[in-house]
Chain A
Amino acid sequence: MSDAESTDTGDDTRMDPNIRQTPAELATGDRTDTLLQTEDLVKRFGGFTATDSVDFSVDEGELRCLIGPNGAGKSTLLKLITGTHAPSEGSIYYDGTDITDFQPEDRIKRGISMKFQVPSVYGELSVRENVRLPVQRFADGDERRRLVREAIEDAGLAGKEDVPADQLSHGEQQQLEIGMAAALDPDLLLLDEPVAGLSVEERREIADRITRLNEEEGIAFVVIEHDTDFVAEIADEVTVLHQGDVFREAPIEDIESDPEVQRIYLGGE
Chain B
Amino acid sequence: MAAETAGSGSALPRPVVAVVRAWQRIFHGPNTIGNSWQFWAGFALAVAALFSYPVLAGGYQASRFALFIVYAFLGLSLSVVWGYAGILSFGQVAFFGVSGYTFGVVALNFDTPFGILGAFAGAVVAGAALSFVLGYFMFYGGVRDVYVTIITLVVTLVLETFMSQTAGDEWTIGAAPLGGFNGMPGIPELAVPVPGLLVQLLGPLGVESAPIVLGAGDGTFYRFALALLVLTYLGLRALVNSDYGRVMVAVREDEDRTRMFGYDVERVKLAVFTFGGALAGLAGVLYAAWGNYVSPGVYALTFASLPVIWVSVGGRKSLLGALVGSIALAFASNSLVGEWAFVIIGALLLVVVLFLPRGFVPAVRDMALFAWRTARRYRSGEPEGSVSENPEAAADAEVTD
Contact = CB atoms under 8 A, between A and B. Distances in A.
Bind each other: yes
Interface of A: 82, 84, 103-105, 108-109, 113-114, 116, 120-126, 128-129, 132-134, 136-137, 145, 148, 161-162, 180-181, 184
A82 B397 contact: no
Given A125-B253, A126-B30, A114 B246 contact: no
A108 B263 CA distance: 9
Interface in B241-267: 243, 246-247, 249-250, 253-254, 256-265
Of all A-B residue pairs in the complex, the 5 with the closest CB atoms, nearest first, are A108-B262, A120-B257, A122-B253, A162-B393, A134-B261
A122 B250 CA distance: 7
A137 B261 contact: yes
A175 to B, nearest CB: 15
B261 A184 contact: yes
A37 B204 CA distance: 77
B387 interface: yes
Contact of A161 (B249, B259, B397): B397
Contacts of B396: 126, 128, 162
A123 B253 contact: yes
Given A105-B262, A108-B259, A120-B257, 15 more contacts: A103-B264, A105-B263, A105-B265, A109-B262, A116-B257, A116-B260, A120-B254, A122-B250, A124-B249, A125-B249, A129-B246, A133-B258, A136-B246, A161-B401, A162-B390
Contacts of B265: 105
B401 A120 contact: no
Given A122-B250, A122-B254, A162-B396, A105 B30 contact: no
Interface string B20-33: 00000000001000
14 contacts: A105-B259, A105-B263, A116-B257, A120-B256, A121-B257, A122-B249, A122-B253, A125-B30, A128-B396, A128-B401, A133-B247, A133-B258, A137-B263, A148-B401
Interface in B382-401: 387, 390, 393, 396-397, 401
Contacts of A136: 243, 246
Nearest to A133: B250
A227 to B, nearest CB: 24
Given A122-B254, A123-B253, A162-B387, A114 B260 contact: yes
Nearest to A140: B243
Interface string B257-279: 11111111100000000000000
A180 B261 contact: yes
Contacts of B262: 105, 108-109, 134, 137, 184
Judged by DSSP, the binding face of A is mixed
Nearest to A165: B253
B33 to A, nearest CB: 14
Contacts of B260: 82, 104, 108, 113-114, 116, 181
A122 B259 contact: no
Nearest to B250: A133
Contacts, number: 73
Nearest to B243: A136
B257 A129 contact: no
Contacts of A125: 30, 249-250, 253
Contact of B397 (A103, A121, A123, A162): A162
Contacts of B249: 122, 124-125, 129
Contacts of A120: 254, 256-257
Contacts of B261: 108, 133-134, 137, 180, 184
B373 to A, nearest CB: 14
A114 B256 CA distance: 11
A225 to B, nearest CB: 19
A137 B259 CA distance: 12
Contacts of B387: 161-162
Nearest to B260: A114
Nearest to B263: A105
Nearest to B259: A104
A136 B29 CA distance: 15
A251 B247 CA distance: 41
Contacts of B254: 120, 122
Contact of B246 (A103, A132, A162): A132
B79 to A, nearest CB: 15
A110 to B, nearest CB: 9
A166 to B, nearest CB: 10
Given A108-B262, A161-B397, A133 B256 contact: no
Q: Which of A82, A105, A125 has the most CB of B within 10 A?
A: A105
A91 to B, nearest CB: 21
Contacts of A103: 264
A138 to B, nearest CB: 9
A122 B401 contact: no
B239 to A, nearest CB: 15
A123 B256 CA distance: 14
B188 to A, nearest CB: 45
A121 B247 CA distance: 13
A134 B254 CA distance: 14
A76 B147 CA distance: 26
A88 to B, nearest CB: 18
Nearest to A106: B262
Interface in B332-348: none
Contacts of A137: 261-263
A197 to B, nearest CB: 19
Contacts of A180: 261
Contacts of B264: 103, 105
Contacts of B30: 125-126, 129
Q: Pick from B256, B257, B259, B260 the residue with the most CB of A within 10 Å.
A: B260
A234 to B, nearest CB: 22
B42 to A, nearest CB: 24
Contacts of B259: 84, 104-105, 108
Nearest to A164: B30
